[in-house]
Amino acid sequence: MPRSVSSPRVVNIEDLRRLAQQRLPKVVFDYLDGGAEGEFTLRENCRAFEAITFRPRQAVATHECDLRTKVLGSEISFPAILAPIGYTRLIHASGELAVARAAATAGIGYAVATFAGYKLEDVKAASSGPLWYQLYLVGGRQAAEAGIERARDAGYSALVLTVDTPVSGLRERDLRNGMKELLGGSIFSKLPFLPQLFARPQWLTSFLFDGGLPKLENVNVPGQAPMPLVDVSSGLASAVVTWADLRWIRESWPGAIVIKGVLTGDDARRAADEGAAAIVVSNHGGRQLDCVSPTIRALPEVVAAVNGRIEVLMDGGVRRGSDIVKAICLGAGAVLIGRSYAYGLACAGEAGVARALQILQDDMQRTLSLLGCSTAMKLDSSLISYPHEWLKRN
């Protein structure tokens, strides 16, 4: 492990966040770190975990706790999946390849984003673990069907449909920093925003040696393949997923389908009725509609609504292994983590992602031992206290 991300310099995810802020241009860091509008939901995703307290069983010798679990039939070393993050190659030149390698080494899965900078086939070659493909309908149905076919042929085991992006959220940091201009504007529109890039010469050198702005290698629009990198708002403008789309998607994809972006019991039941194998309780990391429920608060309602019919996962605000434990106690089968590993990627590529996963896994191991629980499979709500109004709708 490089000294830059090893203890004592880095002992938690917040340490990785601070290092990432030092190493990335402001526009890239704020793209990763920011949320929508006033960022209320972004903050509450983390703060809501503080409303949950533990009820440990004392005088119990647990020795080495078993964190293993199964998600969609694949055994993973602890209940975490790396969430899809777009433009990962801007965060670090090794991008999805580094993330896939770190996930496989840690024994967990990884969901690769539509807005990935590396080809699905190359990411698959870099991984020996379970891989999912997160699909946006960017470029229309024909482009989406081509992406589904590539993911199927490459051996991806699940398709993730993100349903909470009929339009892109208002990400004010991106507007102030010139994300749209830097990705797709003219040279004259870029000029006011270039100093922030020159302020991070190490990142800029790596970016230029990597060839500059990467293309969207997995979006094959007829006459324009691969699609150029675009501002996320432009890319999502015609990428709305509806329940009706699941019909033709199921015909194209024979494997498991995961619906990501569910916050209510009604939508959870609808996803189960439409044949989803799993849902992700998610508010897009606070990056879409601001002032929605933090995901850990929405989780009990969704778990009660599906009543074991399909698997329930969650993301949003996970910064410690104890957060993962709380989510499992409330009924999640596993969590998806995003910013936590991306901060590590920004700091040290694959080694940084590995360090983030090590922190979370060690945290979880220690939390189970202190709770007097020998295995992640035995975690349940008897080990926590939480506000019971979270269950008022089901």
Q: For the segment 356-371, what is each residue's pLDDT rounded down to a tens digit?
A: 999 999 999 999 999 9
Q: For residue range 23-59, what is the model confidence (pLDDT) as tens digits?
A: 999 999 999 999 999 999 999 999 999 999 999 999 9
pLDDT score recorded for residue 232: 54
Mean of pLDDT values over 274-278: 97
CB 167 within 8 A of CB 232: no
Is the pLDDT assigned to residue 346 strictly greater than 60? Answer: yes
Query: CA 15, 341, 53 angle in degrees (round to 5)?
Result: 70
pLDDT score recorded for residue 17: 98
pTM of the model: 0.95
Angstrom CA distances, 124 to 68, 88, 92, 195, 258, stand at 23, 16, 18, 36, 19
First to last CA, the chain: 46
Mean of pLDDT values over 60-66: 87
pLDDT score recorded for residue 139: 75
Q: How far apart are CA 172 and CA 44, in angstroms?
A: 18
Stronger pLDDT, 238 or 73, i.e. the higher one: 73
Token pair listed for 96: 């999805």
What positions carry a catalytic annotation? 284
pLDDT score recorded for residue 63: 79
* 393 band by pLDDT with thresholds 50, 70 and 90: low
How large a percentage of the chain has pLDDT more than 70? 95
* 388 band by pLDDT with thresholds 50, 70 and 90: confident
Which distant-in-sequence residues (6+ apart) come within 8 Å of 210 by Cβ? 89, 93
- In this structure, the number of other CB atoms found within 10 A of the CB of residue 6 comes to 14
